[in-house]
A = this chain, B = another copy of it.
């Protein structure tokens, strides 16, 4: 919180950190997806470098001028929006291979905050240059559109969650989502470390932290998970999935 940052606005770029897309084990999840070697080299060429962030550090803040999007190389982020009247809504959690910052394209200003929840590294992708290159490489252009579209679809899922689900359903959906994403990155899908606090989970799920905590405890009591602070182990995945069916079992 009281980070003794020398410059807290200007991104500190670490050119030495740069890793070629072609050497990156995330390339199948990230922007280079589907590019051949030649085109990947061209993408490599425009990536401005990397940036390391300590836990708690902001990658960008609402109001910052938009210049780049970011690919998470390692670590874990949250994005949140806050209104002038003090409301705070976590809009997402991002892990390796996911893209951050697309909210800034529309107004040339970032509209949310992105904060590292653990020590993290990102790749900077200057957006103007990305547009230029994507007009030359059709598969890159199309993949960029898919990434943006996926973000829209993801947001619709969150709206569904916030609009229609009860507290335990929300938490179940959240855990299943994390499980699936960790799994896609080669980590265990039954055991993982939460990088965010109960309050941040609550903000994301539209619940108060106490409600989140109670739901965790209830899940543990029922033998669905074992949870100790931020460590979670999924015990009964099928039954967690079944929580997402409505209580009366009605079908569409």
Binding site for B on A (CB under 8 A): 81-89, 91, 102-107, 111-112, 131-132, 134-136, 138, 141-142, 145-153, 155-160, 162-165, 203-206, 244-246, 250-252
Q: How many copies does the complex hold?
A: 2
- Our pick among B86, B89, B149, B245 for the contact of A159 (Cβ within 8 Å) is B89
Q: Which residues of the other chain, B, contact A155 by a CB distance below 8 angstroms?
A: 152, 155-156, 158-159
Taking A155-B155, A156-B81, A156-B112 as contacts, is the C-beta distance between A103 and B149 under 8 angstroms?
A: yes
CB-defined contacts of A142 to chain B, threshold 8 Å? 131
Report A44 CB to chain B, min CB distance, Å: 20
A85-B251, A134-B141 known; 19 other A-B pairs, CB under 8 Å? Answer: A85-B245, A85-B252, A91-B156, A102-B152, A103-B149, A103-B156, A105-B145, A105-B146, A105-B148, A105-B149, A106-B147, A106-B150, A106-B153, A107-B153, A152-B152, A152-B155, A155-B159, A159-B162, A163-B205
Tell me the minimal C-beta distance from A46 to chain B in angstroms: 16
Identify the 8 closest CB pairs spanning chains A and B, nearest first: A105-B149, A155-B155, A162-B162, A106-B149, A163-B206, A135-B135, A106-B150, A86-B252
List residues of chain B with CB within 8 A of the CB of A135: 134-136, 138, 141
From A131, A142, A145, A246, residue with most partner B Cβ within 10 Å? A145
Given contacts A141-B131, A148-B152, A149-B102, A159 and B160 within 8 Å (CB-CB): no
With A and B bound together, what is the CA distance between A33 and B245 in angstroms? 44
Cβ-defined contact, A252 with B84, below 8 A = yes
Is there an interface contact between B91 and A159, defined as CB atoms closer than 8 Å?
Answer: yes
Q: Is the CB of A252 within 8 A of B82?
A: yes
